[in-house]
Amino acid sequence: MWRNNDDDDEDVCVRAGGPVYDIPKGRKDGRRSKIEDTINLPPPNLNSSELIRMFGQRGFTPQQMVALSGTHTGNGERCSSFKNRLTNFDSTHDMDPITQFAKHSQKTCSAGDSAEQPFDTTRNTFDNNYFNALQRKAGVLFWDQTLFASAQTRGIVNAYATLHTPCSSSISSRPW
Torsion angle defined by CA atoms of residues 50, 160, 108 and 115, in that order, rounded to the nearest 10 degrees: -60
Q: Are 153 and 55 in contact (CB under 8 A)?
A: no
- Is 99 annotated in some ligand binding site? no
Compute how many other C-beta atoms are within 10 angstroms of the C-beta atom of residue 67. 24
- Is 73 annotated in some ligand binding site? yes
- Is 71 annotated in some ligand binding site? no
- Is 122 annotated in some ligand binding site? yes
- The beta strands (E) that lie in 33-121 are given as 76-78, 116-118
Q: Are 45 and 161 in contact (CB under 8 A)?
A: no
Beta bridge partner(s), residue 118: 76
Binding-site residues = 42, 72-73, 120, 122, 127
Binding-site residues for substrate = 42
Binding-site residues for heme b = 72
Binding-site residues for Ca(2+) = 73, 120, 122, 127
